[in-house]
Amino acid sequence: MTGIGIHDIELVTTHDVLDLAALAEVRGVDPAKYEIGLGQTRMSVPAADEDVVTMGATAAARLLERTGTEGIRSLLFATETGVDQSKSGGMFIHGLLGLPSAMRVAEVKQACYAGTVALQSALGVIARNPEAKVLVVMSDIAKYELGGSGEPTQGAGAIAMLVSANPALVEIEPETGMFSADVDDFWRPNDSTTAVVDGALSLKAYLDALTGSWDDYLANGGHAIEEIDRFLYHQPFTKMARKGHRELAKYAGTALSEDTLEPSFIYNRELGNTYGASIYSALTSLLHHDEELAGKRIGFFSYGSGSTGEYFTGVVRADYREHIYVEPIQTELAARNTITFEEYAELHETVLPSSEDVETPRVTKAPYRFAGIRGGARQYEATA
Ligand code: COA
């Protein structure tokens, strides 16, 4: 076995998109605040028949078309936009995709950090059995109150990744640093579809977790900062990654170039915040847009409010460019349906009661859709 890591990765988003310039106009804000101040251009908005399950199923289906399902005995679904308090969103994906019954399926949660919990768990499974492969799906919809300060940092997207021994893309190194602190910076009550956020506190908690997990990373045998060639950060909005990068440089007492961050911003500027999928969407963007990554070490800062941070590294495989698939996500981003502010506001305010049967309109062009609620249970179906 030559290492364990990310063998394949796929990024998916929604049918609809809102231009942040349109939001700025309605809110009476200078559009430069969103474009430059936050580093965001557009945000993905789920259609009435899309949710974290449909996005996750689409991402997983595209990936499995390439890899097949042989050897996959675990499906770990990471989200903070759970569709049920008990049943894993991964179970709906398992059913939609007709995956084998000899499979472990579960959902993990810790705000935007959950995807990394799933990835690290997958690495552990494979360390015990190098033949095993784990399908990790991260899918989220960032939703804040209409007109609130978090509104321009909403978004939606899903990542599917296959984690295996001898990975084709990125080998994840074993050294890792952790930091956790109980902070009331961001949470979503059980009876609310929107998150509650203290913006200033959430930025501080992010930076505290960055320096805390960096210290723990070094204390546990991590590489010196000079040995890290590229830096990825959780991106609730892309400017936050710049803030993190500047903080890390100051903390480590070194100068770090910001130019190498740019390729990791390209997709997230368009998607908005994808919570748990965000840092892996940034990884996808980096793999798709930086042609000089062969053999390079990437530093990952994964963060979830509330709060947990983890610092770890991965090394990109020499022939990674033969194993990236740029076309599906770039076609999807270009084909999104641009909605007006009024259409966005209506979608935002539509909340389906789980106690009444309802059918959703057919909107999405994705292969799977949320059909509605029957007998209190969520119904999903293939669109073709
Ligand atoms: N042109 C260019 N930049 C402008 C501008 C203009 N006309 N007007 C403001 N800005 C800049 C500000 O200087 C600031 O940049 P800086 O942070 O580098 O100084 C940035 O735009 C944001 O302005 P600010 O006044 O701080 O925005 P805000 O109070 O409306 O809220 C957040 C910003 C991020 C706190 C808010 O969007 C939020 O709560 N988001 C959700 C929480 C979140 O994502 N937290 C991250 C941790 S997970």
Q: Is 80 an active-site residue? A: yes
Nearest in space to 144 (alpha carbons), one of 344, 303, 301, 332: 344
Query: Are 313 and 369 within one domain?
Result: no
Residue 214 confidence (pLDDT): 98
- Of 304, 321, 338, the last residue of a domain is 321
Query: Are 285 and 366 within one domain?
Result: no
- Of 321, 354, 374, the last residue of a domain is 321
Residue 261 confidence (pLDDT): 98
Q: Is 234 an active-site residue? A: yes
pLDDT in tens, 353-380: 878 899 999 999 999 999 999 999 999 9
Measure CA 103 to chain center.
23
Query: Are 95 and 161 within one domain?
Result: yes
Residue 2 confidence (pLDDT): 81
Query: Are 203 and 338 within one domain?
Result: no
3-state secondary structure of 214: helix
Nearest in space to 234 (alpha carbons), one of 274, 270, 197: 274
- Helix, strand, coil % (nearest 5) of the chain? 40, 30, 35
Query: Are 330 and 315 within one domain?
Result: no
Question: Is the distance from the beta carbon of residue 313 to the nearest atom of ligand 1 less than 6 Å?
Answer: no
Question: Is the distance from the beta carbon of residue 38 to the nearest atom of ligand 1 less than 6 Å?
Answer: yes
Ligand 1 closest atom vs CA 151: 37
Cα separation, 104 vs 100, whole angstroms = 10
The separation between the first and the last C-alpha atoms of the chain, rounded to the nearest angstrom, is 40
Residue 63 lies in domain: 4-169+324-382
Number of structural domains in the chain: 2
- Residues 2-30 as b or e (16 or more Cβ within 10 Å = b): ebbbbbbbbbbbbbbbbbbebbbeebeee
Ligand 1 closest atom vs CA 34: 21
Give the tokens for residue 161: 């990744």
H/E stretch holding 231:
strand 230-233
Residue 355 confidence (pLDDT): 80
Query: Are 11 and 95 within one domain?
Result: yes
pLDDT in tens, 117-152: 999 999 999 999 999 999 999 999 999 999 999 999
- Residue 146 Cα to ligand 1 midpoint, Å, equals 16
- Of 321, 345, 369, the last residue of a domain is 321
CATH value at residue 43? 3.40.47.10
Query: Are 13 and 157 within one domain?
Result: yes
Query: Are 186 and 311 within one domain?
Result: yes
Query: Are 72 and 137 within one domain?
Result: yes
Residue 352 confidence (pLDDT): 87
Query: Are 144 and 236 within one domain?
Result: no
Question: Is the distance from the beta carbon of residue 33 to the nearest atom of ligand 1 less than 6 Å?
Answer: yes
pLDDT in tens, 296-325: 999 999 999 999 999 999 999 999 999 999
For ligand 1, atom 5, the nearest C-alpha belongs to 33
For ligand 1, atom 37, the nearest C-alpha belongs to 150
- Residue 153 Cα to ligand 1 midpoint, Å, equals 9
Cα separation, 304 vs 308, whole angstroms = 5
pLDDT in tens, 188-205: 999 999 999 999 999 999
Query: Are 14 and 133 within one domain?
Result: yes
Residue 45 confidence (pLDDT): 98
Question: Is the distance from the beta carbon of residue 150 to the nearest atom of ligand 1 less than 6 Å?
Answer: yes
Out of 80, 171, 173, 332, the active site residue is: 80
- Tell me the C-alpha to C-alpha distance, in Å, between residue 58 and each of 137, 275, 383: 10, 18, 11
Query: Are 257 and 190 within one domain?
Result: yes
Question: Is the distance from the beta carbon of residue 202 to the nearest atom of ligand 1 less than 6 Å?
Answer: yes
pLDDT in tens, 128-137: 999 999 999 9
Ligand 1 closest atom vs CA 240: 46
Out of 15, 94, 234, 348, the active site residue is: 234
Residue 285 confidence (pLDDT): 98
Ligand 1 closest atom vs CA 236: 44
For ligand 1, atom 21, the nearest C-alpha belongs to 37
Whether the full predicted model's pTM is greater than 0.95, yes or no, is yes
pLDDT in tens, 233-256: 999 999 999 999 999 999 999 999
For ligand 1, atom 29, the nearest C-alpha belongs to 149
For ligand 1, atom 39, the nearest C-alpha belongs to 199
* pLDDT greater than 90 at residue 269: yes
In this prediction, residue 1 has a pLDDT band, given cuts at 50, 70 and 90, of low
